[in-house]
Amino acid sequence: MALKLNKNYKKIKNNYIFVEINQRKSNYLKNNKNAKIIDLGVGDVTRPLNKELVEEMQKALNEQIHARTFKGYPPENGYDFLKIQILNYYKQRNVVLQNKDIFISNGACCDVTNILDLFKKNVAVIVSPTYPAYYDSNFLQGNKILLLKSNQDNGFMASPKNLKNKSYLIYLCSPNNPTGVVYTTEQLKQWVDFANKTSSLIIFDCAYESFISDDNLPHFIYEIDGAKTCAIEIASFSKMAGFTNLRCGWTVVPSQLKLNESSINEMWTRRQCTKFNGVPYMIQKGACFALTKNGKLFCKKNIDYYKTNLKILTNCLKQLKIETFSSLHSPYVWFKCPQGLSSWQFFDILLEKCQIVGVPGVGFGKEGEGYFRFSAFAKRKDILIACNRLQQLKKD
Ligand code: PLP
């Protein structure tokens, strides 16, 4: 008898947004060979790594030459030196966690999707528009998906108020990709209270936490009372320290978190020991440096660079009377396509008339139709050229 395959892989719409974007981009380039396209689409960093951080990793690699310092498999859940640094990072926001609550990962994307290993079929609540990995992983697992509208009416910050009193897997992302909005303490408290009341689990993605510069806004879900009994948190060094290639992040699964009397921390530990053999020593050394005083200064410098890009882009859009919705605590500007254009119509006009590429909002879900996302991770000179071209478009 033939092997049984997961048919959801066939059913999932093959509309991975960046494939379509690249297709349109290369079609355009075929007919316009000399065009200098400015890419404000991809959410990948462009600033190089810090020299000291790289030296730290080189030192770690050199340790592998000597029998005395050679290292084999890393601990599945991460080296203590990095976990301690992360615990201190939380303490700065008055969040006290235990060493065993922290799991070092090779990036947020893996854990945000692998967490489903702990569950049978459930209902996932996903805010739409959304970072696609939440939707796709639940679709592939065969979970029922409840899309919660996040739109202009609720300031792109969906709340649980219309949800039934049932247990859900709830995905929240703040600062949000793609909308750039940040939940306030009061808004997150509503989610935490709802999750505790209904024995739901919040999967809180804080991959862009380091972009928050307002001390009154919560960086971590555990700043909210009651979160340790209903939420796991997934964090990343990717955008914070430029680790999109090196791959490192962490996940917090508090020891207090129990569902159906089972410890999620114990289950995740078991899962990681069976399916994950840890992050390389050298990478964890680099990540650890990023959380030192010097490392943090360096990260801040790069984040400030991207945030200045964001301000320039946002101001330019505002001058063009385009409505923007994002905060300044993220690397993304989310805006309404002008003149009622659809997301893809605006994409084609931008490409054709300005040679600028962005991401059509509809690529993040139906609620994103009519909106658009620019990423501020580009180089400053490209941001300035893009603004110039946009202003020119208005004049023409
Ligand atoms: N979560 C969100 C909201 C993201 O936007 C991204 C990457 O763009 C990730 C997670 C993936 O992060 P990592 O590079 O750590 O896998």
Question: Mean pLDDT, to the nearest integer, of 82-105?
Answer: 98
109 C-beta closer than 6 A to ligand 1: yes
Over residues 330-347, the pLDDT tens digits come to: 999 999 999 999 999 999
108 C-beta closer than 6 A to ligand 1: yes
| The pLDDT value given to residue 14 | 65
| Ligand 1 centroid from CA 108, angstroms | 5
129 C-beta closer than 6 A to ligand 1: no
Over residues 31-88, the pLDDT tens digits come to: 999 999 999 998 899 999 999 999 999 999 999 999 999 999 999 999 999 999 999 9
173 C-beta closer than 6 A to ligand 1: yes
206 C-beta closer than 6 A to ligand 1: no
| Ligand 1 centroid from CA 115, angstroms | 15
Predicted TM-score (pTM) of the model is: 0.96
* Strand ranges, E, within 123-200: 123-128, 144-149, 169-173
Distance CA 17, CA 45 (A): 19
Amino acid letter at 7? Answer: K
Confidence label for 17 from pLDDT (cuts 50, 70 and 90): confident
| The pLDDT value given to residue 1 | 84
Give the dihedral sign, CA 364/367/370/371: negative
Taking CA atoms, 317 is separated from 68, 371, 372, in Å, by 58, 13, 12
331 C-beta closer than 6 A to ligand 1: no
Taking CA atoms, 173 is separated from 23, 219, 350, in Å, by 29, 11, 28
